[in-house]
Structure 1
């Protein structure tokens, strides 16, 4: 036999982590055992699959081909496990989701709370990623499901819109912009801003908007959460751009004001992206329907 499932899982992990050591740790293998498996895999195929470079382990052209097939093969294995689950309750499923900041912090906890109660045999890994990393992760099979917002190019993927995401300006209660009905983002740039951390989708989105308009964003401080942003805004450290859902929730307990943004990009479609919905394991398809159902409900309306 050319390979077994452990070989494929190890190879996929190395491609993702770019490290033999970290991949071995993920699969609970010794470094020597992992190295031997890769050497045997290369010997069986008769080609070089990996190169060790300064940036870590890199795939050869043959390795890229093997990765694509390995990811598809493992997805089919997961689907087989799901379909057989009705005959054996001991089988557990696993779903990996890449999502943007708002999804991870605002609505996926609610969605997953309901889903996991009704699917006790399924484990979920939810990771915050930038939009382009989410798309690439689903394209490459690193993630089963992606959740993005805005106009993204997603060649070769199925796109399922499920709700609307609106960005708003948040200011201290007595700020000069607080009484405005709506403002342009450009009119906020004279004030200090509170931003999310560098790895957040929202930070990268606003950074791109400012760069394209050849303006500057005066970031006074960057924090890790929407709640921390609003606390800084309430303390009059600056103003900030937040999803309306988060801003409305936090405004109930803080002295802050919400102002509509009059920019077309402030309203963005939220979408679930997958390679092939009908090829996902049954439990993963059910989770997609849970996300779409949330979007159709009162909690996932346009105000979100």
Structure 2
């Protein structure tokens, strides 16, 4: 296994981003010739060219582009390690890293985490939450990138353990003048004659909707694809398409003005979310405290 030098990787990233060794050197306060020597050693180490010289600078080769992605990930991980260790020096007694789905972050998780951190007993705990789509949440917890994950329970959890957290309810949002706007409720099939706003192709919701359409022998037609529900609501409000969005997102953002919000009459319209983790015994005291807090907030009767 090769031991990669973080300083060299940082210089490689700077060269790729600036397209010029001199400018990268200015950014890193190092002469361009020194960078060139380090990158030559890096190419020797990986045994393949990483950069191609062009008329006005350099660009990464396909191998260089792959290394660039990994280098950014490694540098990000190193920065997190440094930040976490500094938090202990500053007096923090616990650090919790969590991955969460877009829906959970948009709806209730941020408020629940804020309530946890505002408690006097948790003032010395730091919580780092990163937004991912549900499959990536599960993968990240599996791989140890985070101790806790919050995701939709339809995702394959593998060996992870899970506890029920909260639920939401999908609805159809359409412009007021849309032919569906006066309906009291809608079946999913009734929406398939109209163009939709889609989410990322590998998001759990998008995969489920594609499958539901296929089971009906239909195709889900997208006019535009966005990265989050807030953007989807903007597209609908502009009259470009319709969208399936959690009712809780619409209500929490006060976004129903200028939209018709119609219940979705499907058994799967209610989505359940879980807190997932590897093993309870492997959780730190801070992680376990946060998990118990989230479960209590999501299931008040369990307190």
TM interval, shorter chain, is 0.5 to 0.7
Of 121, 132, 145, 1:142 maps to 145
Deviations along 1:117-160, whole A, 9 cap, x unmatched? 33333332222222222222222222211111132332322110
CA contact (8 A) 1:158 1:273 kept: yes
CA contact (8 A) 1:101 1:201 kept: no
Q: Does 2:115 match 1:114?
A: yes
CA contact (8 A) 2:155 2:204 kept: no
Q: State the structure with more CA Rg.
A: 2
Secondary structure of the 1:183 match is coil
Cα distance between partner residues in 1 of 2:65 and 2:228:
34
Q: Does 2:128 match 1:93?
A: no
Q: What RMSD over aligned residues (CA atoms) do the two structures have, in Å? A: 3.8
Secondary structure of the 2:220 match is coil
Deviations along 1:171-230, whole A, 9 cap, x unmatched? 123432223232221210111212334565433443343355553222222334323322
Match of 2:246 in 1: 243
Cα distance between partner residues in 1 of 2:206 and 2:256:
24
Match of 1:263 in 2: 266
Deviation at residue 270 of structure 1 after TM alignment:
1.0
Match of 1:254 in 2: 257
CA contact (8 A) 1:100 1:201 kept: no
CA contact (8 A) 1:101 1:200 kept: no
Where does the alignment leave 5 or more consecutive residues of structure 1 unmatched?
1-6, 15-19, 26-30, 40-51, 58-73, 299-304
Deviation at residue 89 of structure 1 after TM alignment:
8.1
Deviation at residue 283 of structure 1 after TM alignment:
1.1
CA contact (8 A) 1:166 1:243 kept: yes
Match of 2:163 in 1: 160
CA contact (8 A) 1:94 1:122 kept: yes
Secondary structure of the 1:110 match is helix
Cα distance between partner residues in 1 of 2:283 and 2:295:
16
Q: Does 2:297 match 1:294?
A: yes
Deviation at residue 101 of structure 1 after TM alignment:
1.0
Where does the alignment leave 5 or more consecutive residues of structure 2 unmatched?
14-34, 46-62, 69-80
Q: Does 2:208 match 1:220?
A: no
Q: Calculate the TM-score normalised by the size of structure 2.
A: 0.65
Q: Does 2:166 match 1:178?
A: no
Q: Does 2:284 match 1:281?
A: yes
Cα distance between partner residues in 2 of 1:295 and 1:101:
17
Match of 2:193 in 1: 190
Equivalences, count: 239
Secondary structure of the 1:164 match is strand
Deviations along 1:262-300, whole A, 9 cap, x unmatched? 2222222211111112321111111112211221249xx
CA contact (8 A) 2:165 2:299 kept: yes
| Higher mean displacement: 231-240 or 243-252 | 243-252
Over 6 Å off, 4+ runs: none
